[in-house]
Amino acid sequence: MTDRFIASSRLPTWCLCASLFWACAAQAQGLRPSGQLNLPRNASAAAAPSGTQATADYIVALVNSEPITNNEVRQRLLRLEPQLRQQGGALPSRDVLAREVLEQIINERVQLQQATELGITVDEAAVTQAELSVAAQNQMTPEVLRRRLVTEGLDINRFRADLRQQLLLQRVRERQVETRVRVTEADIDDFIREQQGTGTVENLELNLGHVLVTVPEGASEQRVQELQARAQKAADQARAGGDFAAVAREFSDAPERESGGLFGMRAANRLPELFVNATRSLNVGGVAGPLRSPAGFHVLKVVDKRQAGMPGTAITQTRARHILLRTSAQLSEADAVARLATYRQQIASGQATFEALARENSQDGSASQGGDLGWANPGQFVPEFEQAMSDLKPGEMSAPLVSRFGVHLIRVEERRQSALSPREQREMVRGLVREKKVDEALTTWAQDVRGRAFVELREAPQP
């Protein structure tokens, strides 16, 4: 399988989002296209809130003799407030928010100063790659992104400076913290014991496949027996290893039949007690039923189960194909999009096959396999590719997709539920433990760096 699009090669999403939305790094969320971008405005475009009066700028704090001005706090606050409102809930007063924003800027400033002391730098190529990633995550070309920035009142040089700062913060944190975190086998064992020690129904999460054969009210005994036989046939096919989605579409009267009969991962206390009691002792892949309830006969398959805090025992894998065209001086992004749109039309009309066009034209290592990327686990590809692929149903093709690697045409071939081996589950636990240890180490490191800095608070910020 090609490794050009694996997630480990990408810039962490929080870095990109923080420069766009100025949310706290620990809480920033990934960018997704959702109408107009809420991009930060520059100083000239950031209008003062209604009812406030513009004031002369002044220094609110010194960080190792480096000043932080009131305008810096005000601009950050103006960028942050819309995001906080979107999250819902009551906001603290603007004075309280201003003090919190000032503390965030102080923490960032001391970390950036440490990056300078360590000789950590970010070159123009890295900033450009980050800019491409922002564009790709918003399904834009870089040119469209730049035009949008201008429309939103943000100077492109200021935007790139923000990206550079986030990259510096990422790199100093990686060097000082993340590369030093180690997860031992004993750490994994301790985590598993801790989670299994709370192995109650209250902590159980299940993803069940469901077939409901409805029994009408007042149905005769003969009709009930016929419907029970129908449910039994569905259960037999499920136990024989048949495609549960096909079984659900053929036999089920439940609303979720169109989504393959799957409820999705839910806490056990959000499922009927009948369902939980019948499936809690089954392994993944186990089938229960037919079970009788006032609604009718139910057949249940355990697609996945886990204790809260533990990774699931199964994952949804996707097998897709793609055609990649890399942009260059000879092939502009617009030309690549147009060419892939033509390929898409040819495939849809039957004039050509996806496999043949991929072999002839794709500029990726998968070309020789007709663009086949093999079975992929969730999170294996970079976010923009992963999102587009996840939105497709088997047999569907995407529109031409711009990513940081070029322009893609994607077709999903099939999906399947795959049980994780004990080793794979253990590796997923390793990732959970590492994430927890990194978060704890980052907090400790940030407090230590902040504690060793000379910070002089002057006048309070005026939002």
Give the CA distances from residue 355 to residues 320, 341, 350, 360, 370, in Å, rounded to whole numbers and listed in that order: 11, 16, 12, 9, 4
Position 313 scores a pLDDT of 63
Query: 3-state class of 56 per DSSP?
Result: coil
Position 9 scores a pLDDT of 33
Q: Mutual orientation of helices 13-21 and 124-137 as an angle, nearest 10°?
A: 80
- Tell me the pLDDT tens digit for each residue of 330-388: 888 888 889 999 999 999 999 999 999 999 999 999 999 999 999 988 878 887 888 88
What is the arithmetic mean of pLDDT over 440-456? 92
Burial class (CB in 10 A: 0-12, 13-18, 19+), 275: buried
φ and ψ of 255, to 5 deg: -60, -30
Q: How confident is the model at residue 455 (pLDDT cuts 50, 70, 90)?
A: very high
Q: How many helices (H) and strands (E) does the chain have?
A: 14, 11
The Cβ-side half-sphere exposure at 72, using a 13 Å CA radius, reads 21
Position 43 scores a pLDDT of 37
Positive or negative: CA dihedral 41, 43, 48, 49: positive
Residue 149 sits in the same domain as residue 33: yes
Task: Read off the CATH number of the domain in which 33 is found.
Answer: 1.10.4030.10
Q: How confident is the model at residue 24 (pLDDT cuts 50, 70, 90)?
A: very low
d(Cα 361, Cα 367) in Å, to the nearest integer?
Answer: 8
Query: Which residues lie across from 207 on neighbouring strands?
Result: 304
- Are the beta carbons of 306 and 401 closer than 8 angstroms? no
What is the arithmetic mean of pLDDT over 77-89? 77
Whether residue 204 lies inside any domain: the answer is yes
Listed range (89-103, 105-119, 123-137) with the worst mean pLDDT: 123-137
Q: Which residue in this structure is represented by tokens 């003090």?
A: 99
Q: For residues 68 and 282, which has the higher predicted lDDT (pLDDT)?
A: 68
What is the arithmetic mean of pLDDT over 70-82? 87
Residue 266 sits in the same domain as residue 322: no
- Are the beta carbons of 215 and 274 closer than 8 angstroms? no
- Tell me the pLDDT tens digit for each residue of 38-64: 344 333 333 444 444 445 789 999 999
State which residues form the domain around 100: 14-179+442-457
pLDDT at 106 over 90: yes
Q: What is the mean pLDDT of the chain?
A: 81
- Tell me the pLDDT tens digit for each residue of 209-242: 899 999 998 889 999 999 999 999 999 999 988 8
Task: Read off the CATH number of the domain in which 415 is found.
Answer: 3.10.50.40
Position 133 scores a pLDDT of 77
Give rounded-to-5 percent helix, strand, coil for the chain: 50, 20, 35
Residue 118 sits in the same domain as residue 221: no
Position 308 scores a pLDDT of 62
Length of the chain measured in residues: 463
- Tell me the pLDDT tens digit for each residue of 243-288: 888 898 889 988 888 778 888 888 887 888 888 888 888 888 889 9
Whether residue 6 lies inside any domain: the answer is no
Q: What is the CA radius of gyration of the chain?
A: 27
Report if pTM > 0.85: no
d(Cα 295, Cα 224) in Å, to the nearest integer?
Answer: 12
Whether residue 415 lies inside any domain: the answer is yes
Residue 252 sits in the same domain as residue 132: no
Residue 143 sits in the same domain as residue 243: no
What is the arithmetic mean of pLDDT over 93-108? 91
Position 172 scores a pLDDT of 93
Q: Which residue in this structure is represented by tokens 């907090």?
A: 443
Residue 253 sits in the same domain as residue 123: no
- Tell me the pLDDT tens digit for each residue of 385-410: 888 898 898 999 998 888 878 889 99
d(Cα 155, Cα 232) in Å, to the nearest integer?
Answer: 66
- In the chain, the number of structural domains is 3
Q: How confident is the model at residue 179 (pLDDT cuts 50, 70, 90)?
A: confident
d(Cα 408, Cα 121) in Å, to the nearest integer?
Answer: 32
Q: Tokens for 207?
A: 């993803």
What is the arithmetic mean of pLDDT over 289-294? 90
